[in-house]
A and B are shown apart, each in its own frame.
Chain A
Amino acid sequence: MNKHHSKNSEPKYINPYLGGVLLGLLVLVTVLITGRGLGASGAIKSTVVTTAHVFTPEQAKSNAYMNKFISDDHSPMYTWLVFETLGIFLGGLLSGIVFGRVKKLRTEHSPKITSKTRLIFALIGGMLFGIGSQFGRGCTSGAALSGTATFALGGAVVMFAIFGTGYAAAYFFRKLWI
């Protein structure tokens, strides 16, 4: 594949600094309206709690972690973060349609690995991210971005821990990506 061709096939993304300014203003507006920042992992937690509550209600209630999020008057799905996450999905879909990136199911991976390897690592990575986000009280959007933007100490701690570890571990997983 020659260089010229690869240049042409680069997808059209918006200028990253423009995206950053828009995202920063969005965080600002979110704080101004709701008093707290954006988030993403909380919705998955709500889903976990809901499914556990539906299938094994007794067990869910006795679980010391889950019972914090179970209340009798409304479902754990009826929370701010779940609706916001639904919005993330719709917004992604909207952008994908606008820029012509919505296509049939596909897997993106380095030419050096197979799709299967990529999916296995995606699953493990997702699990680790899920576990880590509970200890970190939020993920990259909730803790690292919104937390640090509101000057929370914990947000900065999580941000440096995530990116620091990412750089430290990058060498060992280079075959996955380059």
Chain B
Amino acid sequence: MNRNYIYLTILMLVLAVGTVLVNNEPKLKQIEPQQLLVEMVQPTRYVTTDQVAEMMIHGDPSLEIVDVRSAAEFEKFALPKAVNIPLDSLINPSNLSYFGIPGTRVVFVSNDDIAADQAWVLTKRLGYKSTYVMRGGLNCWMQTIIDPQEPGENEPSLAFETYTFRKGAQQYFTGAQAEAPEGAKVKVEVQRRKKTSVAAGGC
């Protein structure tokens, strides 16, 4: 047999085996139900309104607030720099590009924390890491940040520290709202994952 054919045969075999080696990653990484359950019963996914407020005040670039309420509710009131992805369109491929960016933490926000929790389960199910839920949702945000209650006299000093912070945060947020009136919405600049490595050149 012609020796060239042997070389060609080997080349073709190597290329074919190569496809197996490079394409063995599953298309959609879903996590196991057991693992999902473990993560669900742990409260680590919750962040408090105070933590969110603090990160916002410090302009933490890794924070990304995703509002899962409907667009109409989002129009009425929303946290600054929040992105609106209604729950029913959460798993649209274009919306999924907000998640799973290395170095960012996605915090889901809804009126209470039920819808946000559902969104969290969905993204967990799809295998995205570092997604969180703002505990108590916007209702809690209103009570704690926008309208904080002064602690009673016998409360520990920690409560007073929190109150001081909340008072400051209240001024920050409500003051900021007064400066930039409704309607003049700041153009939100949000990080999005780059479309799957479309290499330059190619075909």
Contact = CB atoms under 8 A, between A and B. Distances in A.
User: Chain A: interface secondary structure?
Assistant: helix
Interface residues of A, number: 2
User: Chain B: interface secondary structure?
Assistant: helix
B203 A17 contact: no
A161 to B, nearest CB: 25
Interface string B102-141: 0000000000000000000000000000000000000000
Contacts of A32: 203
Interface in A29-77: 32
A41 B124 CA distance: 48
B8 interface: yes
Contacts of B5: 17
A32 B203 CA distance: 8
Nearest to B8: A17
A35 B113 CA distance: 44
A58 B8 CA distance: 57
Nearest to B203: A32
Contacts of B8: 17
Interface in A114-165: none
A19 to B, nearest CB: 14
Interface of A: 17, 32
The 3 closest A-B pairs by CB, nearest first: A32-B203, A17-B8, A17-B5
